[in-house]
Each structure stands twice: as C-alpha cells, then as structure tokens.
Chains A and B, each alone.
Chain A
Amino acid sequence: MDKAVQAAGAHASDVNYLNHETGLWSWLSTKDHKRIGIMYAISLALVFLIAGILALLVRAELIGPGQTIMDAQTYNEAFTMHGILMVFLFLVPSIPAILGNFVLPIQLGAKDVAFPKLNLASWYVYMVGAVFTMLALVYGGVDTGWTFYTPYSASTGGGVLWMTAAIFVTGFASIFTGINFIVTIHKMRAPGMTWNRLPLFVWGMYATSIVQVLATPVIGITMILLILERTLGIGIFDPALGGDPVLFQHFFWFYSHPAVYIMILPAFGILSELIATFSRQRIFGYRAIALSSVAIAMLGFLVWGHHMFVSGQSAVAAIVFSLITYLIGIPSGIKVFNWVGTMYKGSIWLQTPMLYALSFLFLFTIGGFTGIMVGVLAVDVHLHDTYYVVGHFHYVMMGGSVIALLGGMHYWWPKITGRMYNETLAKIAAVLIFVGFNVTFFTQLVMGAQGMPRRYYDYVDKFTQLHQISTVGSWILAAGLFLVLGYGIWSLFNGEKAPANPWGAATLEWTNVSSPPDPHNFKRTPLVTRGPYDFHLADEVFGGDGSAGDGSGDVRMPEPAPAAPEPADGDK
C-alpha cells in the first residue's frame, strides 16, 4: 500500500452496511441503496461476462474468411445477442445502477434515495427482463442485430417477441432509477448542499436521469408496437401492410441516440471526480462542466436522424440532423478542455483510477472525432454499416463508458468493500486493457474505411490480416479484464483494510463516512459549508504551496464537514 494511502486515517467501525444483517433474504429484501448497488453490480458483471464471451467467439469466427468455428446463422445470433446484452442490459443500467446507487445519496448527504422501495423494484424488474432474454434464446434466438429493424424483425426468429418484451420491461428499471435520482437530488440534499456545491458526479447523474425519463418511454411504445406488428400485423411498421419501416427507425433512434448519452454522461461524471481527486485540484470550470452535461442531454434529443442518412429520409432532414450533430461536439469539447485544464494546474498522482481517466481521455477523443466524421453526410454514405461505425461506437461505448466504469470501480472499491486492491496488478491490467482495446478497434476503423461491411460472416482475402490483428487484440483485452476480475475477488478476501479516505478526496462519501459505510451512511447528518473539491483549504491554512504531489505523503486531507444541528426529536 502507498505510504500516502496508509497515512490516511482511521479504520472502519465494526458494524457496517455489509454485516449489520446477514443471510440471502436480508439482501433480496433490502431497501439500502448501497446493497442494491451491489446486487446490480453482481448481476451486471455476469451480463458483461456473457456478452464478452460472445464477443470473443464472434471475433474468433472472424479470424479467417469462411467458416471457422460456427455457421452463419449462429454467428448472426451471437453478434445480435452480444449487442443487445451490452447495450440494453449492461451499459444503459451500468454506472447509474451500480455507482450511482451506491455513491449519489452519500455525496448528497442523504440517508438513502427518495424511494428505496422503488429502487429495489428496479432491480427486480431488471431481473425479469434478464429472464425474458433467456427465454428469447430458448424460443429460437434473435438474428436481427440489436437494432430490430423492421420488416425483418416482424417475421424472423421466434425469440424476437421475448427479446422485445425484455427491452420493454428493463426500460421500467431504467425509468425507476431516473425518477429516483431526480427526486433525490432535488429534495434530499443535506443542509448547505447547494446546487453549486453538488459533486460533478451528481451533475452527471442528474443529466442522465433526465434522458432516462424522457427517452425510455419511446422505446417502450416502439417495442409494444413491434410486438403487435408481429402478433396482429397492425401495419404500422410493415410495408407489406401499408406501414412505414422508416418510422420504426425514427422511433428506435429517438430513444437509442439519447441512450448513448445515458451511457456516456455518467462516465463524464466519474471522470470529473477522478481528475479532481488525482490532480489534487479544484475542477477548472466547475460550472461549465456541470451545465455542459445538461446541454448534451438536451441536444441529444435532436440528432437521432444521423443514424438514418441513408434510409431515405428527406434531404432537408438529413442536412439539419447533420448540422445539429456537430453542435454536440461543443459541450463535449468544453468538458475535455476543462479536464485537461484541471490536470495542467494540478499535481497529478498516477494511481490506477487516474490511469483509467487518462485512458478515457485518449479513447473518448478518438471516439468523438470518428463520430464527427460519420456525422458528415457525404462521408457517412461511404462509412455507413462498415466496420468504421463498429470502431466508432466501441471507442465511445467501451473506450468511454466501460473504461470510466472501471476507473470508478477502482476509485470507490475501498469505500464499497472496505478493502484495498493490489496496485501493481491493477496498473498492469489497466495497461493491458488500453493496449488490447486499441489493437482490437483501431484496426476496425482502418478496415471500415477500406470498405469492410459490418455484420458480415465472410470477407474477401484482403481483410484477413486486419481481422487477425483485431482478434488478437480482443485476447489482450480479455486478459486485462480477467486480471481485474481475479485481483478484485482476491482483494475481497485478502485485501488490506481500507482507510476512510485513501485518496484524500474531498466529497462527503470520503470525508464523513467510514469504509465500508454504516447502514445509514452518516453518524450525524453533515452540514455542508464548502464546494466539493476544496483540496487547497489545508494549504491555505498551513502555508503549503500546492505544487508538490508525487503521491509520497503529500495527500492533503480535506476536513470532514461538521454535523448539522440535530432536529429536536433526535434524528433516529
């Protein structure tokens, strides 16, 4: 363990949220936001594992032209299942359901989210969705791709009904989380926690929740209409019955483009926390970062048509969608510049979470640039449905969200589990993941630009080498991820006990709560008297110049917030 980490203070008290009740039922019936976060973490880890193995199989099939390990139909079902699991069942819930649930109420100084029962219901609803997904496999699989484009989806594969039902159901889980967070942020803040003092993770979750609430109902009705199209032939999407398949695409992307912001805005939130803490620096442009999240959330509703440039929508629509798409680059750019500005002024401490933050900045920037490229109308006509698009969205979704989630998990791991992980192994894994990722997906960008179409089972010989490199990259990536799984489990049982604030962070979950936290989070409700990133308070008082900071004992500990005056009835 680092010296700085060691210096950082007291151990947890004996009673905490993990051991104050035991037994399976105490978990399955819990209304504690922290435990619900953990139940989501376990379920989502499982989904990620299955979807990841499917990805490895898909990649293995593509290691050479022609058939290698599976037939074409199985291949279609495998990449469809991979996409559906990753998008709808993993990435959409991921950060909000795991870290949002765990961290957000504590960062606000609340004892729980506003609706604990609804929170538990969200998990159960999600599990019902997961069961439906299994049934989709039992009833004949799905080979439509994760986009379910009509009319094909109205007639193929017996599993489509169950799959669309699953997405309808999990939508409710997402809406429940969104409602819960919005209300919690508005109504449950501790005394003194003003909007200007909200940690940026909370701002990210706030913007995300707005998107969840406003976009998810649309995928709900789309799935209902698709189900009715299959069962009753209502002729809304099926051209054979007078319906309009492009209308389906409008509906689908009206949700699914904002959904990519459900995936990336929480990642932005995590990144702000990581950069502030490990640069030991007040965030540069706090307000710009906070409000740009909200701006992205709003703009995100206006650009769905950029997925349909070649679908036959009107030329005017295409031009307008293309223009608005460029606009989204502005708030995203603001964020990246502010993060870089924060690091520039700060003193960087290269712990594992910070490695992920840097890796995010690199990968997300590539994802953003390639996004602008496909947002250009004429260029997209060439790149549409090629591996360039596959590369682009993996840079954003995996290089962005998943990397940020990994960074966030490492950052909050000591708080959640009360244990430290092995820093050396963690750094090795972070590097493996970064390298593996780029080898896998940068080659796909190249292939796509050269014309390799996506979702193809077979390909011409000239792409063989690039496919092989990409496949080998996926193995490096997988090695990194399995390493994380390995030392994570090891740390649960053998890791050193974590101090309350190993990183010297300044938000409430570190300064005022033990690791792991008490069942009701705070011993006394805190009274918030300063912003979330006041690392320099100590320097100003003790005359430090704020320039040192190689991590060797230079962790400046922010003071805990004082307790709020107790209400007369004793607060119990």
Chain B
Amino acid sequence: MATETAPATTSAGDVHAHQHPPHLEHHFVSSEQQFDSAKLGMWIFLATEILLFSGMFVAYAVFRQWHPDAFLAASNALNWVMGGTNTVVLLTSSLTVALSIHFAQKEEQRKMVWSLLATLVLAGVFLVIKYFEYTAKFEHGVYPGSFFDPHGAHYAYLADIPFAAQFFSIYFVMTGIHGVHVLIGMALIGWIAWRANRGDFSSEWYTPVELTGLYWHLVDIIWIFLFPLLYLI
C-alpha cells in the first residue's frame, strides 16, 4: 500500500529538448504522462462501452432462457453465411488497423495511410453486407417488435412461433447499435487517415492512431460475441 512513488516529472527526452514538442499540451509535464493518460482514459471508456452492450446480453440471456425453442427456430432464419463473411471482414480490418499502428511506429507514413484506408473499406463492406441482410428480412415483414409480420416462403413459418418477434427485436437492437458503433469507428478512422496523410503523426507521437485502433478492436470483439450468439447457437 505504501507506494512512495510519484509520477515521473519529466522524461529525459523532454528535458534535453529544451522546448515542448508541439503535441504536448500545457497541463502535462511530459509526453509519457500525456500518452499514458490518454491510453488509460480510452481503456476506461471502452469498459463503459462493454457495459452498455452487457445490458442487451442480459436481455438476450433472459429471453433465450425463457423461450429456447422460439429462439432456436428464429435464429435459423438468419443467414449465417453473410454473418460469417462479415466476421472474417471485421477480423481482417482489425489486422489492417493494427498494421497502421505498426507503420506509425516505423514512420512509414504512406503505408500507414493505406492500411487505414483499407480498414475503412473493410468497414464499408461490413455495412453493405449488413444492409443486404436487413433488407432481405424487411422485404418479408421480419421487423422488430410490434411491426413483426413475417410472410414469404422462407419466413412464413415464423408467424406461428410465439416469441419469435422478441428474438428479432433483440437481433435488430443489438446489431443496430453495433452498426452505429461501426459508423462512429469509420468516422474516426477517416479523420485519422486524413491527419496521417497531412503528416501529423510520427514515431514520437501517434496517440490518436493507437486509440482509434483500440476502439476498432472493441467493435470487432463485440461482433465476435454477437455472431455466435445470434447466428449459430
């Protein structure tokens, strides 16, 4: 308990530079302090995001427990090929975003920009596939909640299953909120790519790239839980 260590006042680097590097905000003493703070802040924020989703995971668990058969039957109506493709797409995008951080550390600016753009494209592919999945459902009246009115060869049988509507409510809410996070992530990555192209980052300072990468990994991880829960089991 008796930790007598105070945070470091300055890093040797900053002291000998005899000036503040341009990215160092005035209320921090050193670049390390600024970087560590940003990273800790981001981790805490990601914890709140997980808790946000946990509410829906609880709702899913409760209703699945109550109506296992309805959930099984309704889950079969989802297109696992599309869902699986999307899983691969997102995993790949996690790799490209990790690469962009790697290139930032190496000061390979062009490669950093390109891997960010690749991430952006993959995120776009994810949303396009999601769009086709959604519209395929909507066409046959498979809407969330009280608008649920399934018809058509593949879906008509859902109309006879009580509580199938609830499964789709949960499906649309969970994937919908996840989709919003994908959109936010795309905006962030686009902005970072633009700044990277402008030459804002260096091996000394690439905090925003790293934080955006963390955020994107979270979006990926949540999908990795959503996919088996909704499509497979």
CB pair B173–A188 under 8 Å, yes or no, is no
CB of A112 closer than 8 Å to a CB of B: yes
Closest 3 CB pairs of A and B: A233-B146, A221-B55, A234-B169
A189 pairs with B6, CB closer than 8 A: yes
- Bound-state CA distance A218–B47 (Å) is 12
Given contact pairs A188-B7, A190-B6, A116 touches B14 in the complex (Cβ within 8 A): no
Cβ of B90 within 8 Å of any chain A Cβ, yes or no, is no
Task: With A224-B173, A229-B145 given, name 5 new contacts (CB 8 A).
Answer: A115-B41, A118-B41, A195-B1, A242-B165, A567-B14
Establish whether residues B10 and A567, one from each chain, have CB atoms under 8 Å apart when the complex forms.
yes
**Mask: chain A, 173-209; 1 = CB below 8 Å from B; 0 = not:** 0010011101110111111111110000000000000
- Residues of chain B contacted by A229 (CB below 8 angstroms): 145
B2 partner, pick from A196, A216, A525, beta carbons under 8 A: A196
Residues of B within 8 A of A72 (CB): none
Contact A569/B59 with A233-B147, A234-B145 known, Cβ cut-off 8 Å: no
Q: Is the CB of B169 within 8 A of A221?
A: no
Q: Are B55 and A251 in contact (CB under 8 A)?
A: yes
Q: Verify A241–B145 contact, CB threshold 8 A.
A: yes
Nearest CB of chain A from residue B185's CB, rounded to whole Å: 18
Known contacts A183-B41, A183-B44: A192-B51 contact under CB 8 Å: no
B154 at the interface (CB under 8 A from A): no
- Would A214 and B62 count as touching, CB distance under 8 A? no
B15 contacts across to A, CB distance below 8 A:
567-569
Q: Which of A110-165 contact B (CB under 8 A)?
A: 110-112, 114-116, 118
A553 CB to nearest B CB, Å: 36
Chain B nearest CB from A171 CB (Å) reads 9
How far is it, in angstroms, between the C-alpha of A235 and the C-alpha of B169 when the chains are bound?
8
For the complex, would chain B's binding face be called helix, strand, loop or mixed by DSSP majority?
A: helix
**A213 close to chain B: CB less than 8 A:** yes
30 A-B contact pairs sorted by A residue (CB < 8 Å): A116-B27, A175-B45, A182-B40, A183-B40, A186-B37, A186-B40, A189-B7, A191-B7, A192-B6, A193-B6, A195-B1, A213-B47, A213-B48, A214-B48, A218-B55, A224-B173, A225-B56, A228-B145, A232-B144, A232-B146, A233-B146, A241-B146, A242-B163, A247-B58, A287-B1, A567-B29, A568-B15, A568-B16, A569-B15, A571-B29
Q: How many A-B residue pairs have CB under 8 A?
A: 156
- Where the two chains meet, the residues of A that have a C-beta atom closer than 8 Å to any C-beta of B are 110-112, 114-116, 118, 175, 178-180, 182-184, 186-196, 213-214, 216-218, 220-222, 224-225, 228-229, 232-236, 241-244, 247, 251, 287, 520, 525, 528, 564-565, 567-569, 571
A217 in contact with B37 (CB, 8 Å): no
Q: CA A114 – CA B25 in complex, angstroms?
A: 10
B166 within 8 A of A: yes
Given that A191-B9, A222-B55, A236-B170 are known contacts, is A179 also in contact with B45, CB under 8 Å in the complex?
Answer: yes
**Measured between alpha carbons, how far is A178 from B44 in the docked complex, in Å?**
9
Distance from B62 Cβ to chain A, minimum over Cβ atoms (Å): 6
- Which B residues are closer than 8 A to A by beta carbons? 1-7, 9-10, 14-20, 25-27, 29, 33, 36-37, 40-41, 44-45, 47-49, 51-56, 58-59, 62-63, 143-147, 162-163, 165-166, 169-170, 173, 177
Say which residue of A234, A243, A568 sits within 8 Å of B173 (CB atoms): A234
Query: Are B145 and A218 in contact, with the CB atoms below 8 A?
Result: no
Are A564 and B165 in contact, with the CB atoms below 8 A?
no
Chain B residues with CB below 8 A from A569, complex form: 10, 14-15, 17-20
Contacting residues, chain B, for A222 (C-beta < 8 A): 55
**Complex partner residue of B48 from A175, A180, A192, CB under 8 angstroms:** A175
Q: Which of A118, A217, A224 contacts B51 (CB under 8 A)?
A: A217
Contacts of B166 in A (CB 8 A): 234-236, 241-243
Q: How far is the CB of B149 from chain A (nearest CB, A)?
A: 12
